[in-house]
Amino acid sequence: MTAITGVGAYAPRFRITAEAFEEAWGQFQASGITEKAVPAADEDALTMGYEAANRALEAATVDPDAVDWLAFAASRPPLAEEDLTARLGAMLEVDEAATRHLFSGSTRAGTRALWAGMDAIGADATTGLVIAADAPKGDPDDGVDHAAGAGAAAYVLERDGPAEIVDRAEYAVPYPGTRFRNTGEDETQGLGVTQYDRAAFTETIGGAVDGLETDPEPDAAAIQAPDGKLPYRAAGAAGVGTDEIQAAATVHDLGDLGAASVPVSLASALADGYDSILAVSHGSGAGADALVVESADEVPVETDLESDDTLSYAEYLRQRGVVTTGPPSGGGAYVSVPSWRRSIPQRYNLAAGRCPDCGSLSFPPEGACADCGSLGEYEPVSLPGTGTVEAVTTISQGGAPPEFAEQQARAGDYAAAIVALEDEDGSETASIAVMGTDAAPEEFTVGDRIETTIRRIYTQEGVTRYGFKVRPAE
C-alpha cells in the first residue's frame, strides 16, 4: 500500500462572484458556481504548486531533502515545453538527484501523478511529493472561462501513514471534442454538445468506478468538477449520493480547478476528517481514474482555501491580462538568463552568508563584508524567510520600472519595501529591497512582520523569472 502522510492545499486570495459575470455578460454560464478563485498577476500553476507543496511538507513534518520522487501536474502549465519540475524542485529545495515527472495534457493529470507516485513508493522510492496545480482559461464569453478557477494541492506519499490509497482503477473510451486546447492556443474550448459531453463524463467515471476491486461505501466523493452541476449528474454512475459529493465539493467556491479539481477536493475531504473517500477524475478524450482513500487516523492537512477579497469584472480582466498590452519595448534593466541562474539560490532559497571575521550576515553572499570589509569566504546560511519592514513605498501607474510595468498594469499599485530578513535565531538581519505581494500596499507599514513566498517577477526574452517576494506574516 501507499500512504498519505501530509496534505497541503492552496487557492489564490482573489475571488469573483457569479453576479459580477452576470452584470458584465447578462448571464453566467457556469452552473452551480457561486464564486471562483482568480490567480493574481504574479501567480501561475508553478507558484500555486509551490504554496501547496510547502504546506504539505510542513503538515507531514518532512524535510524537502528527504523527497526522492517529485511529480508536478497541470493541464495548463506556464510553459508548453519545459520540465518545470527542475524549477519547482529548486524552489522547494528538493535534492537535485530526486526522480522527477511532469504530467499534463489532461484534467486527469493530477490523479495520473498520484497513480505514478503510488507505483514509485511501492518500488524503490521512499518519500514522494505529488503536486497538482491549475488555472484553466477560456474565451471571455465562453462557459469554460466563466467556470475557470485556480488552486493547487500537494501530497506527501510514504510507505506507512494515517491514510492509504487502497484501490484504484482507470477507464478510457474515445469521445473527441469534449474539451480541448489546440497547439499554440491559450484558451481551452469544447464543442458544447451537452448530451455528448455528459455521456463522456458519466460513462468514463462509471467505467473507472466499476473497475475497482472493492465495493466502496465512501463518506465523501471527490468528483471532477468542470462546473457545479456535472459532478452530481455522475452520482449514479459513481455509485454515490449527492450528499457524498457535496461533502468534498470545492467547485462552488473555487470554480473549475482543472487537473487540481480532484486533488483539492480530496484534500478538503481529508481536512474535514472523512475516513473513506472515493476520488474520481475525468479528462477529455475521454478517460477517468478512480482512487479509494481510507484513513485509520487523522491525516495532517494544511489548507489555505478561504478568502473574501473580491474583484469586479474589470479587475478580473486586468489580473488575467486580457485588457493589458504587455511590457513596453526597451528601457528595462536587462538581466541575462545565465546571470539570473547564478542568483537562483538567493532568489529561491534565501541563501545568505555569514562573515567569518565579524559574524555579520550578507545577502547575497558575495563581495566584501559591508560591516568589516573582510574578503574571507562566507559561511553559508539559509534564511528562514521572516523579517520586518524597514521602509516602504507604493509603486503606481507610470512609476514601475519597464520590466515591472505589465504587472503594475494588471495588478494595480504594489508595495516596494526595504525589509530586514532574520537569521534562524532572529538575532541578525540582512536588509534588502523587495516587492510586496498578496496584499494592498497600505497593508505594509514600517515595523510590520513579513514572510517570503515565491512569485513571478517578470518575463524577458520569453523566459519568466521567478523569485521571492514578501507578504504580511500570518
State yes or no: pLDDT of 84 exceeds 90. yes
Contact 175, 199 (CB under 8 A): yes
Cell 458556481 locates to: 33
CA distance 56 to 156: 6
Q: What is the pLDDT of residues 413-436, one digit of tens each?
A: 999 999 999 888 777 777 888 999
Cell numbers at 227, concatenated: 462546473
Enumerate the CATH 3.40.47.10 domain ranges in the chain, comma separated: 2-319
Domain 2-319 annotated CATH 3.40.47.10: yes
Contact 471, 463 (CB under 8 A): no
Cell numbers at 237, concatenated: 454512475
Predicted local distance difference test score (pLDDT) of residue 425? 76
Cell numbers at 212, concatenated: 475497482
Q: What is the pLDDT of residues 265-317, one digit of tens each?
A: 999 999 999 999 999 999 999 999 999 999 999 999 999 999 999 999 999 99
SS3 sequence of 274-342: CCEEEEEEEECEEEEEEEEEEECCCCCEEEECCCCEECCHHHHHHHCCCCCCCCCCCCCCCCCHHHHHH
> Under DSSP, is residue 163 helix (H, G, I), strand (E, B) or coil?
strand
Q: What is the pLDDT of residues 215-271, one digit of tens each?
A: 889 999 999 999 999 999 999 999 999 999 999 999 999 999 999 999 999 999 999
- Residue 443 DSSP code: G
Note the pTM of the prediction, 2 decimals: 0.94
Cell numbers at 5, concatenated: 502522510
